[in-house]
Structure 1
Amino acid sequence: MMLKGTKVYSIFTGACPKCHQESMYENKNPYALSDVLKINDKCSHCNTRYRLEPSFFYGSMYVSYGVGIAFAVAAFVISYSFLKSSLLTAFIVIVMTVIVCGPIIMRLSRNIWINLFMSYDKSLVKK
Structure 2
Amino acid sequence: MLKKGSKLYSILTGSCPKCHEESMYVSKNMYNPRETIHMHEHCSTCGTKYKIEPSFFYGAMYVSYGLGTAFAVAAFVISFLFLGSSLKTAFFAIIGTLIIFMPIIMRLSRNIWINFFFKYDPNAADNHKKSVESK
How far 1:125 moved relative to its partner?
5.6
How far 1:124 moved relative to its partner?
2.6
SS of aligned partner of 2:116: helix
Amino acid at match of 2:81: S
> Residue 124 of structure 2 aligns with which residue?
124
Question: CA offsets, 1:76-115, max 9 Å, x none?
Answer: 1111111111111111000000011111111011001000
> Residue 4 of structure 1 aligns with which residue?
4
Report the Cα distance in structure 2 between the residues aligned to 1:3 and 1:96, rounded to whole angstroms: 33
Structure 2, unaligned stretches of length 5 or more?
127-135
Amino acid at match of 2:17: P
Report the Cα distance in structure 2 between the residues aligned to 1:18 and 1:122, rounded to whole angstroms: 8
- Number of aligned residue pairs: give it: 126
> Residue 109 of structure 1 aligns with which residue?
109
Q: TM-score, normalised by structure 1?
A: 0.94
The structure having more radius of gyration, on CA atoms, is 2
SS of aligned partner of 1:79: helix
SS of aligned partner of 2:84: coil
> Residue 24 of structure 2 aligns with which residue?
24
Report the Cα distance in structure 1 between the residues aligned to 2:56 and 2:124, rounded to whole angstroms: 24
Which stretch shifts more, 41-50 or 79-88? 79-88
CA RMSD of aligned residues (A): 1.3
> Residue 54 of structure 2 aligns with which residue?
54
Give the fraction of aligned pairs with identical amino acids, expressed as a percent: 61
> Residue 95 of structure 2 aligns with which residue?
95
8 Å contact kept, 2:2–2:8:
no
